[in-house]
């Protein structure tokens, strides 16, 4: 009896795992999220960093593939040295690629990149 129950639970679990992919695909359809954390070099004045972040935020409305854009300075103190976080919403990974190749975005990357110690990116579909 115990052996049969175990096999039933295993089969049921595998079935649920298979369905999880379908559920997740349906849940995140049409939403793709890009997060980027920015750690500026110590010699970059706060005013300059804030101005660059303002310019980055102004890309919303100028690049159609960028559906929503949030950017802000850390206030938690748990930032591991990162100063700003950017969260962008797209319909697909392909739209993110279009955004990243857009001339307005590329121009800002050229301005911001040399002023960073490092950046950290993560792209995902919401669960």
Q: Give dist(CA 56, CA 70) in Å, integer.
A: 10
Q: 77 and 101 in contact (C-beta within 8 Å)?
A: no
For the entire predicted model, the pTM comes to: 0.75
pLDDT band of residue 26 (cuts 50, 70, 90) is: very low
Q: What is the pLDDT of residue 30?
A: 81
> Of 57 and 13, which is predicted with more confidence?
57
Q: What is the pLDDT of residue 123?
A: 98
Q: Would you say how long the chain is, in residues?
A: 127
Q: Give dist(CA 124, CA 104) in Å, integer.
A: 23
* Averaged pLDDT score across all residues of the chain: 86
Q: Give dist(CA 23, CA 12) in Å, integer.
A: 16
């Amino acid at each position: 009896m115990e052996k049969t129950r175990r096999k039933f639970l295993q089969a049921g679990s595998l079935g649920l795992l298979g369905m999880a992919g379908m559920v997740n695909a349906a849940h995140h359809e049409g939403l793709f999220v890009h997060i980027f954390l920015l750690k500026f070099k110590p010699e970059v004045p706060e005013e300059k960093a804030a101005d660059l972040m303002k310019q980055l935020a102004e890309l919303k409305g100028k690049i159609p593939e960028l559906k929503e854009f949030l950017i802000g300075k850390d206030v938690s103190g748990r930032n591991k040295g990162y100063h700003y976080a950017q969260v962008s919403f797209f319909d697909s990974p392909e739209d993110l690629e279009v955004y990243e190749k857009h001339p307005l975005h590329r121009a800002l990357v050229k301005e911001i990149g040399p002023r960073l110690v490092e950046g950290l990116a993560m792209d995902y579909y919401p669960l």
